[in-house]
Chains A and B, each alone.
Chain A
Amino acid sequence: MLLEIRDVHVHYGKIAALKGITVEVEEGEIVTLIGANGAGKTTTLKTISGLRPLSSGRILFNGQDISRMPGHKRVLAGIGQAPEGRGIFPGMTVTENLHMGAYARKGDVSKDLAEVFELFPRLAERKNQAGGTMSGGEQQMLAIGRALMSRPKVLLLDEPSMGLAPMLIQQIFTIIEEINRRGTTVLVVEQNAQQALQLAHRAYVLETGRVLKSAPASELLDDPEVRAAYLGGGAGAAGGSGGSGDSGDSGGKAAAVASAPGEAAVVDEPVQKTAPDDRD
């Protein structure tokens, strides 16, 4: 087992954001956490990378307990993350941002730089552009490329589809598959459940700080409960990302992508009572 989260509780002040989450990730897998806004997905990732302290439970990485390891050391241990909102350093160029990804590492990084530019030719074209002036899709590519620069054993992705047009989402997901094929384990958090379930091997459904369900991703795609709640099955209620309204393309997959603000109400309702503070 590469990454094991055992019965983890996390609090923001007195509010419980995670109420005993258990997630396992095998080496070589793509695992996804899906769920509505405030379900605890981002908190789970932040806890794994050490940005949030846990109140109880354990995190094991490569069999080693890293629950108390400071965040900056977890990078060297092999945990790379493309954070929520992408976290691009706005005043640094594309190349400087990528070099930050290799900050903790020693030795030559030119090979890794070349590999990132090969995965994302777009970034190679914009080497010297300031990160803050790039489009959302380019920033997402930069965030993923930067995380790869640390040569992670597991790559944590927080909402890579957020605010992107459907075509761009498809492109990013294809690259995530490619990264996984090259040997990096991936744990991806998504509100865009349809896409995430098609990408992943296994999935966990989170609701208000708990794991509601866990199963192979293909099974969840057919699960009536999951379809109703997260895939816009039938009623058209979408667990969408609330990103930009650029999903005018109403093709088959668009239901999960499109989310008029009002439609998400069904999913959001239980969330606001219990964990309003998940900064999602």
Chain B
Amino acid sequence: MFGNFIDQFWPSTIDGLSLGAIYALVALGYTMVYGVLRLINFAHSEIFMIGTFAALATLNAIGLSAPVGGLALIGLVLMLAVVAGLVSGASAVALEFVAYRPLRRRGASRLAALISAIGASLFLQQLFARVLIPWWFDLPKEKGALPIPKHFTETVDLLSIGDFIIRNDKLFVILGAIVMMIALDQFVNRTQLGRGIRATAQDPETAVLMGVNIDRVVSATFMIGGVMAGVAAALYLMRFGETNYFVGFLLGIKAFTAAVLGGIGNLRGALVGGLTLGLIEMYGSVIFGSAWQDVVAFSVLVLVLMFRPTGILGESLQQARA
């Protein structure tokens, strides 16, 4: 079983990093909202799901006639990422406006907001399953995965060194995630609104005394988390080539796990946690078989939290320099 692991080491490392990059992007949404509002936004998985459908709709509208490669593929992926990012970002802002803001205004408890999050999550899933998908794709009640234009998912081997092969889609996913992380880091540390987000995460009451408009900070936080989830959704569609109304559920739980693993509330923790989780899953599935993938991942989570309850990077957004 370990001979297998050595044989498969490089391919599973690449697989793990590209899977982990998607977890990391989605984890950012959980961790930022938690940092600012101390709320686990359980409907974030549906924001991701909405992103996959936005990307799919764009693909269908373009209607590829042949596989694309090179610059054209880069352009296509960028376009999908932009559309999915905007749609997911707007959905996240709308979600906050409808499901959380009224509760916050009335000073409701965090548990009430949590229930509201679960409700919003179920509502969005069922809205897609029963109304939007049948209407949109002209299908009866949707059960299985939706068809993705096949030309999009036909992949090209970019470069190979011996057994070490990098496929274009996996490379794009990793690069895309890194670019988004750098952009976010710059935004949070260099812009005025970014400083407002950090201040609110560290001490909301004092932030108001500095003239920070909390409502705007909260909207911006949901917007950014949503955009990240939308980009992740476009990359996911390219990497795995399928979506359905349920696509966010397990991925959302994994991304939330990644956020906790890295240290919730900590932006860099989301990256570390996501990549770690992706690698563990892939290595675990090579060693123990793919059926054990999730068991290995969550066992590691439990172990890490036993010894480092605050996650790998420990300190949260309050303490960390974002």
**Which residues of A pack against B, CB within 8 Å?**
49-51, 70-73, 75-76, 80-81, 83, 87, 89-92, 96, 99-101, 103-105, 130, 132, 146-147, 150
Specify which chain A residues have a CB less than 8 angstroms from the CB of B320 in the assembled complex: 91
25 contacts between A and B (CB under 8 A): A49-B208, A50-B208, A51-B205, A51-B209, A72-B213, A73-B211, A75-B211, A76-B211, A81-B209, A83-B205, A87-B209, A89-B202, A91-B198, A91-B319, A91-B321, A99-B195, A100-B199, A101-B210, A103-B195, A103-B196, A103-B210, A103-B212, A105-B211, A150-B210, A150-B211
**Which residues of B pack against A, CB within 8 Å?**
192, 195-196, 198-199, 202-203, 205-214, 317-322
Specify which chain A residues have a CB less than 8 angstroms from the CB of B322 in the assembled complex: 91
Given A72-B214, A92-B321: A51 and B208 interface contact (C-beta under 8 Å): yes
A237 to B146, CA, bound (A): 77
How close is B259's CB to chain A, nearest CB, in angstroms? 18
Specify which chain A residues have a CB less than 8 angstroms from the CB of B214 in the assembled complex: 72
Nearest-neighbor residue (CB-CB) of A70 within chain B: B213
Given A87-B203, A90-B318: A72 and B208 interface contact (C-beta under 8 Å): yes
A75 to B198, CA, bound (A): 19
Given A91-B321, A103-B195: A71 and B208 interface contact (C-beta under 8 Å): yes
Specify which chain A residues have a CB less than 8 angstroms from the CB of B318 in the assembled complex: 90-91
A92-B198 in contact (CB<8A): yes
How close is B264's CB to chain A, nearest CB, in angstroms? 15
A132 to B315, CA, bound (A): 13
Specify which chain A residues have a CB less than 8 angstroms from the CB of B321 in the assembled complex: 91-92, 130
B213-A90 in contact (CB<8A): no
Nearest-neighbor residue (CB-CB) of B201 within chain A: A91
A76 to B213, CA, bound (A): 12
A103-B319 in contact (CB<8A): no
B209-A89 in contact (CB<8A): no
How close is B109's CB to chain A, nearest CB, in angstroms? 13
Residue of A50, A83, A87, A130 contacting most chain B CB atoms (<10 Å): A87
How close is B138's CB to chain A, nearest CB, in angstroms? 48
Given A92-B198, A103-B196: A87 and B205 interface contact (C-beta under 8 Å): yes
How close is A29's CB to chain B, nearest CB, in angstroms? 21
A100-B210 in contact (CB<8A): yes
A51 to B235, CA, bound (A): 43
A71-B209 in contact (CB<8A): yes
Specify which chain A residues have a CB less than 8 angstroms from the CB of B203 in the assembled complex: 87, 89
A92 to B203, CA, bound (A): 11
Specify which chain B residues have a CB less than 8 angstroms from the CB of A130 in the assembled complex: 321
A160 to B154, CA, bound (A): 67
A87 to B203, CA, bound (A): 7
B208-A103 in contact (CB<8A): no
How close is B35's CB to chain A, nearest CB, in angstroms? 11
Residue of B206, B208, B322 contacting most chain A CB atoms (<10 Å): B206
The 6 closest A-B pairs by CB, nearest first: A104-B211, A87-B206, A75-B211, A71-B208, A89-B202, A103-B210
B210-A90 in contact (CB<8A): no
A146 to B209, CA, bound (A): 10
Specify which chain A residues have a CB less than 8 angstroms from the CB of B199 in the assembled complex: 89, 92, 100, 103
A92 to B317, CA, bound (A): 11
How close is A68's CB to chain B, nearest CB, in angstroms? 14
Nearest-neighbor residue (CB-CB) of B317 within chain A: A91
B202-A83 in contact (CB<8A): no
Specify which chain A residues have a CB less than 8 angstroms from the CB of B211 in the assembled complex: 72-73, 75-76, 103-105, 150
12 further interface pairs, Cβ-Cβ under 8 Å (given A100-B207, A150-B210): A49-B208, A51-B205, A72-B208, A83-B206, A89-B199, A91-B198, A91-B321, A91-B322, A100-B210, A104-B210, A147-B209, A150-B211
Nearest-neighbor residue (CB-CB) of B189 within chain A: A96
Specify which chain B residues have a CB less than 8 angstroms from the CB of A89 in the assembled complex: 198-199, 202-203, 206
Residue of B208, B213, B318, B319 contacting most chain A CB atoms (<10 Å): B208
Given A89-B199, A96-B195, A132-B319: A75 and B205 interface contact (C-beta under 8 Å): no
Specify which chain B residues have a CB less than 8 angstroms from the CB of A104 in the assembled complex: 210-212
How close is A83's CB to chain B, nearest CB, in angstroms? 6
A260 to B209, CA, bound (A): 33
A143 to B317, CA, bound (A): 21
Specify which chain B residues have a CB less than 8 angstroms from the CB of A96 in the assembled complex: 195
Nearest-neighbor residue (CB-CB) of A101 within chain B: B210
B195-A90 in contact (CB<8A): no
A49 to B210, CA, bound (A): 10
A89 to B203, CA, bound (A): 7
A83 to B208, CA, bound (A): 11
How close is B172's CB to chain A, nearest CB, in angstroms? 33
A243 to B291, CA, bound (A): 59
A100-B195 in contact (CB<8A): yes
A75-B202 in contact (CB<8A): no
Nearest-neighbor residue (CB-CB) of A93 within chain B: B321
A96 to B198, CA, bound (A): 11
